[in-house]
Amino acid sequence: MIPTLFVAVYLAAVLYIGIFAFRRKPAGGAAEDYFLAGRSLGPYVFLLSLFGTHMTAFAILGSSGFSFNNGIVTFGLMASSSALIVPLLLLFIGTRLWAVGKKFGHFTPVQIFRDRWECGHIGTLIFLLQAALLVPYIIIGVIGGGTTLNVISGGLVPYWLGGLVVACVVMSYVFFGGMRGTAWVNTFQTTLFLGFGTIAVIVIGAGMGGFTETVNALASNVRTAPLLTRERVSPLFFLSYTFNPLSAIAFPHISIFCLTAKHMAQFKKTVILYPLCILLIWLPCVFLGVAANRSSDIPAIKAKQEARGLLASKGATMSPEERDDLRSKTNADDVMLLLLDRYAPTWLAGLLGAGIMAAVMASDSQILALSTMFTEDFFAYYGGTKRYGEQSAVVVGRAFIVFITAVAYAIALVVKANIFDLAIQFAFAGYSALSPLLVAALFWRGSTKWGALASTIWVTSAVLGVAFFQGAFPAPAPGPPTVVMQWNGWDVLARTPGGTAVFGFSPVVPMTIISALLVWGVSLVTPKPSRETIDKYFSL
């Protein structure tokens, strides 16, 4: 009960922060203050809350679970590429977003698209796609919360109750505090989980015998030695992951957050310190995820290893249903929590559990982003605010927060996908493919609404296509992929144990490239916005 009580105190603290933010009087208009904190966030709150918004349960539970099964290559797949690409996106695109939003009073990317391309219903279609792609990310937070409380409490808190508690706490402080409350909570949470990584490595590493001994033991074991290499990931698939960080600036919760900075100069500290923050959280989680393979004395970890070995040795002879059932048993999203329970003192496990919960609950920004988009891109655009007044926007936004949290919780109760795969295959891939829209709107005079429409339809079709393809062709056993389509000696389409491959690449690569080509090609042959609109946006 002691670790559970620590987490309970933490949940009460973040709830109080959100309510405290609610009591602060608006600095400007009610809607701008609620959804964008009055565009007044200071440099450190901006840095820490933006980073916390980006690093969710995916960064701690997802990365350690994926590392447990796939090895140290996980750091290269996501952390290295993100540390290079995300700061550049913030520097070149985030600052431009801030300038445009500040000058024209925009709250969301869709508002920019509508005004920049002189489009109406096309903007609504983009809103619907962005909203649909953001839901999996919110579900990740509920899954992470349910898993964390269940493991930390030793099973005393069931998964459904843990997910419900986290969903209600997040919903409450977002409901009351809006962007200001969310930013303050994220600053507090980010401080916690950045400190978590260092402490966890020291404590758990010492309990396992130290860094050197752990690595040597893994390297000397024929079953675990491949985890210290990248042999489980093909070069083309590895390269594919450099496209995933493009999603960062296209995520509505990131792009909207870029509008909250008080001054453009605040991006400087964020760009400089962002790679260091990624290192502090990803390196410990990946190392501990791999090192967990040495802890076969933990029954739950041993069961995962046995399921993984059985899948590798006999998976090819099993039915798809049997493989899926066995694959679910290899889900290692809880491996970090199991290590804490085994190697950390009870009181420290409670503190570190609160640190993990801090990362898990970063889904608050996604919930607020969806609420902002629904209110501004749908309710306000179709006359709601004009008819019922500005205060109605806050009321509608809060009602939508309750609705979308309930939907995410209901889905999280039945979904079986692990956190890493759910994020990579749908949320990251879809938003990476939408990033050309943002670049075209902000930097290319010749882009048009028809190019944006073509790209949006393509991304929608591609994401649905991947989902239906993976449903029609069950994942094979670990090993060579199942080739579904060949052309001239090339494996055009294949079903892999972890997803889908197109010409050997992850789907995010063709999705993003074709999306960019459609924006460019269709814009070349379709009518441009008025000269007045183009001059308006390119005279900044």
Exposed/middle/buried for residue 9 (C-beta within 10 Å: 0-12, 13-18, 19+): exposed
**Both tokens assigned to 127:** 């809103």
Residue 418: the pLDDT is 65
Sequence-separated (6 or more) residues with CB below 8 Å from residue 121: none
What pLDDT digit, counting tens, does each position of 510-524 carry? 999 999 999 999 999
Residue 24: the pLDDT is 64
The edge-to-edge listing of strands for the beta sheet with 482-487 is 482-487, 490-496, 499-502
Sequence-separated (6 or more) residues with CB below 8 Å from residue 243: 432, 506, 508, 509, 512
Residue 26: the pLDDT is 53
- Asked whether 501 and 491 are in contact (CB, 8 A), the reply is yes
CA distance 217 to 295: 11
Residue 86: the pLDDT is 93
Residue 198: the pLDDT is 77
Look at residue 487 and give its three-state secondary structure. strand
Question: Quick check: pTM over 0.95?
Answer: no
* DSSP one-letter code for 53: H
**Both tokens assigned to 327:** 């694959």
How many C-beta atoms surround the C-beta of residue 55 within 10 A?
24
Residue 106: the pLDDT is 92
Look at residue 295 and give its three-state secondary structure. coil
pLDDT in 10s for each residue of the chain, 540 residues: 777 787 788 888 888 887 777 666 555 557 788 888 888 888 888 888 888 888 776 777 788 888 998 899 989 888 899 999 999 999 999 999 999 999 999 999 999 999 999 998 888 999 998 888 888 778 877 887 888 888 778 788 888 888 888 888 888 888 888 888 888 888 888 888 777 777 877 888 788 888 888 888 889 988 888 888 887 777 888 888 899 899 989 989 899 989 998 888 889 889 999 999 898 888 888 998 999 998 888 899 999 989 888 888 888 888 888 888 888 888 888 888 888 888 877 777 777 777 777 766 767 888 888 899 999 999 988 888 888 887 888 889 889 989 988 988 888 888 766 666 766 777 788 899 999 999 999 999 999 999 999 999 999 999 999 889 988 888 888 878 889 998 888 888 998 887 888 998 989 999 999 999 999 999 999 999 999 999 999 876
What pLDDT digit, counting tens, does each position of 185-208 carry? 888 888 887 777 778 778 887 888
CA distance 330 to 309: 10
CA distance 271 to 275: 8
* DSSP one-letter code for 432: H
Which domains are assigned to the chain?
A: 2-435 (1.20.1730.10)
**Both tokens assigned to 162:** 């843990």
